[in-house]
Amino acid sequence: DIQMTQSPSSLSASVGDRVTITCRASHSISSYLNWYQQKPGKAPRLLIYAASSLQSGVPSRFSGSGSGTDFTLTISSLQPEDFATYYCQQSSNTPPYTFGQGTKLEIK
Amino acid sequence: EVQLVQSGAEVKKPGESLRISCKGSGYSFTNFWIAWVRQMPGKGLEWMGIIYPGDSETRYSPSFQGHITMSADKSISTAYLQWSSVEASDTAMYFCARRQYLRVSWYDYYYMDVWGKGTTVTVSS
């Protein structure tokens, strides 16, 4: 199976900051990479699919980039509602579609 | 509105059987795969497997193969996740999610675009 590693595992930032979260795949996955946001007690929410495509309804301050093994999720200007845990997920070839371990974004 | 509605919280004793459900509405249920995702208390997301309600084809993660069974009843637009004998380590939140599909040139992209709210399962003696 393909392993996904996110960094950092946790991150403290302030409202208005620019934040970048990194995800690395153990093998090349082309652009088969998705990003999700999860708040405590809630279901995950799709933010980005196919590495860089913004899901409908997601604010444009979220963006994704990368291909192959290295990917990033960027939040251009943090808003109070963005404090959450973020997960990457690979969807290359056949399942399982493994997730990264998550990055918890906290208020500084 | 496209939605997945999951069954309510369950409390079971070790060794008991369990089935939880996920009912789709607002879209053609038989045309989209449904995935199941586990989240143990305070932990991350784990992809368990996926089922195609149109013909009940399934694909399990090796980590869960043999311990769970996924099924679907397309007549009532419902997918199921079941255990024949639960263990304390099955205590978790379980989410179902719709797998969306996008073809761009020669590339097939898959992502989970609609999620249920989750079913909490507690296994304790």
Q: How far is A3 from chain B (nearest CA, A)?
A: 12
Kindly tell me if the per-residue pLDDT of A44 is higher than 80.
Answer: yes
If you search the block for the tokens 């291909």, which residue do you land on?
Answer: A67
pLDDT for residue A94 = 78
Could A96 and B63 be called an inter-chain contact, meaning their C-beta atoms sit closer than 8 Å?
A: yes
Q: Which two tokens stand for residue A18?
A: 């620019």
Nearest Cβ partner for A102 among B44, B113, B117: B44
Name the amino acid, one letter, at A35.
W
Q: How many CB atoms lie within 10 A of CB B93?
A: 20
Distance CA B6, CA B79 (A): 9
Q: Residues of chain B with pLDDT > 90: what percent?
A: 97
Q: Which residues of A touch B49 (CB under 8 A)?
A: 95-96
The per-residue pLDDT for range B88-117, each reduced to its tens digit, is: 999 999 999 999 999 988 889 999 999 999
Q: Is the dihedral of CA B57, B61, B65, B67 positive or negative?
A: negative
The per-residue pLDDT for range A54-101, each reduced to its tens digit, is: 999 999 999 999 999 999 999 999 999 999 999 999 998 778 999 999
Q: Is the dihedral of CA A71, A87, A95, B76 positive or negative?
A: negative
The per-residue pLDDT for range B58-90, each reduced to its tens digit, is: 999 999 999 999 999 999 999 999 999 999 999
A97: which residues sit within 8 A by CB, 6+ positions away?
Answer: A89, A90, A91, B35, B47, B110
**Order of strands, sheet of B78-83, starting from the edge strand that comes earlier in the sequence:** B3-6, B18-25, B78-83, B69-73
Using an 8 Å Cβ cutoff, are A73 and A48 in contact? yes
**Average pLDDT for chain B:** 97
Distance CA B87, CA B24 (A): 28
Q: Which residues of A touch B65 (CB under 8 A)?
A: none
A82: which residues sit within 8 A by CB, 6+ positions away?
Answer: A37, A61, A75, A105
> Band of the pLDDT at B56, cuts 50, 70, 90?
very high
Q: Which two tokens stand for residue A103?
A: 């990055």
Q: Which residues of B touch A96 (CB under 8 A)?
A: 47, 49, 59, 61-63
